[in-house]
Structure 1
Amino acid sequence: MKQQIGAKHFTSENDFLEKFGAVALEKQRNLFEVTGDLSWNVNMDTEEITFGDNLTFPIQVLGSFSHSSETWLWIWENKAGGYAESVMKQALLLKQYGEENNIDLLTVGKFDAVENDLHLIGMIAVEMFNASGYYLGNYGQGTMVVSIKSDTIDKVESEDFARILTVFPELISTFEIQNHKNAFTNYLSQKGYELTSNGDEIKAEKNGNVINAVFNEDNLLTKLNGNS
């Protein structure tokens, strides 16, 4: 399968989080619905990840985090690994995208990192390549980050309304996002909600469900509730 960057565009880490962060995070709920707490195993020869005994999905490897040095290493920078180029297509395309848009996160081969960086890298790959989710595989000495594509995961049915009320607060509490209002507006628009704005308040409506969000003068969320 040919990997290519989609039509989505962002120019910084914050820009990505405001535009696509919530949708990317929501896909992780679908992934967990399917894989739960099952054990995992990656086969680099077949470029697949298996959960439990029989859930096997194709992967792209993005890189790995060393627990001892607390550094991130992109797979294309891991010269000692001897990995096939086919398993790093997404990582290489992200590097190219980072070079074109001056995004250090995607172009610096090795850097000091924290766990949120791993999630952000996974989320970027998921959205830019329309993947089904990303997985952080802890193998003891480190954590490998892979993106996964599977119709089984994509077809998970979820309660849209309840998800939004948990996913959005999770996003803004996990990542430092400059403009919560932008992130909320983008998220709900992508979910097909009709938005009306009244000063610092945004009302989102879809199929009889109503979500109200209130923001302060710095565009940070102060209140979120909904009813169906």
Structure 2
Amino acid sequence: MSRFEELFTQHVATAFARQLALADLIGECDWQLDLTEGVATFGEDLRYPVQLLGTESHGDGTWLWAWANTGSNLPAQVVHLSEWLRGYGDYAGVTELTEASFPLERADGARLALIASGLTGRCYYRGPYDGGAVFFHVEGLPPALIEPVSPERAFLVLGQVIQAFPVDHRAMLLAFLEQQGWSIGEDGPGLVVGHHPGGSEMRVEFDEQGRIERVSGQIQPA
């Protein structure tokens, strides 16, 4: 497993949970991005500072980091986060965070943004436009959006992540439960049991290939 894949597996579930929380907040609102002011507006009254991550080009099928997009004359104040990620990539040996551009087949914007969300504790937004999409992190959101999720949401996140992404199921689960504040018990390779501080329990059974085979448990009332 590459360092990029390790990072993605470690952070995808908690980052995905934040995306569900952001979707709860903004719903189907239209979006506008003002790079001069460095803010995004959703609908008529939701307005937040942003940090650009990068763009997908659907014409040539490539990703371009915001720090490398010198041709667009981006304001320096909106690329600080992408520059930080580049520095982290240098430190951790993650080439996908340090190379200016590469094919989407290698790593698309969603996977890159989920890693960035896991590393920074922010939510991201994908803004589609004709010929591509811009990805940016949204700052100044209500704190509840990045707090540990409810047990009900944790079960939902787990199911959606294993359907959407080819990850090491066990490694993803253990990272997610730890990040969300659950205590973890393991019974060999076939069973992981998570205990939420509120009393809920999650039991996850694995098949011989290490894939999640069955999820069960009990939810305690809040």
Q: What TM-score do you get using the length of structure 2 for normalisation?
A: 0.89
| Alignment correspondent of 2:58 | 67
CA spacing shift, 1:204–1:221, aligned 2, 3 Å: same
Determine helix, strand or coil for the equivalent of 1:187: helix
Deviating more after overlay: 205-214 vs 215-224: 215-224
Q: What TM-score do you get using the length of structure 1 for normalisation?
A: 0.87
Q: Percent identity?
A: 24
Tell me the CA shift for residue 115 of structure 1: 10
Asked if structure 1 preserves the Cα contact closer than 8 Å seen for 2:48 and 2:141, the reply is: no
Tell me the CA shift for residue 77 of structure 1: 1.8
Tell me the CA shift for residue 128 of structure 1: 1.9
Q: How many Å separate the matches in 2 of 1:110 and 1:190?
A: 31
Asked if structure 2 preserves the Cα contact closer than 8 Å seen for 1:165 and 1:226, the reply is: no
Tell me the CA shift for residue 130 of structure 1: 2.1
CA spacing shift, 1:127–1:43, aligned 2, 3 Å: same
Structure 2 unaligned spans of 5+:
none
Runs of 4 or more, structure 1, over 3 Å off, are 156-159
Structure 1 unaligned spans of 5+:
1-10
Q: Do structure 1's residue 46 and structure 2's residue 46 form an aligned pair?
A: no
| Alignment correspondent of 1:188 | 177
Asked if structure 1 preserves the Cα contact closer than 8 Å seen for 2:33 and 2:39, the reply is: yes
Tell me the CA shift for residue 49 of structure 1: 0.4
Instruction: Write the letter of the residue equivalent to 1:84.
Output: P
Count of residues in Structure 1 that have an aligned counterpart in Structure 2 = 215
| Alignment correspondent of 1:209 | 200
| Alignment correspondent of 1:113 | 104
* RMSD, aligned α-carbons: 2.0
| Alignment correspondent of 2:161 | 171
Which of 22, 27, 44 aligns to 1:31? It is: 22
| Alignment correspondent of 2:128 | 138
Q: How many Å separate the matches in 1 of 2:85 and 2:148?
A: 30
Q: How many Å separate the matches in 2 of 1:37 and 1:151?
A: 17
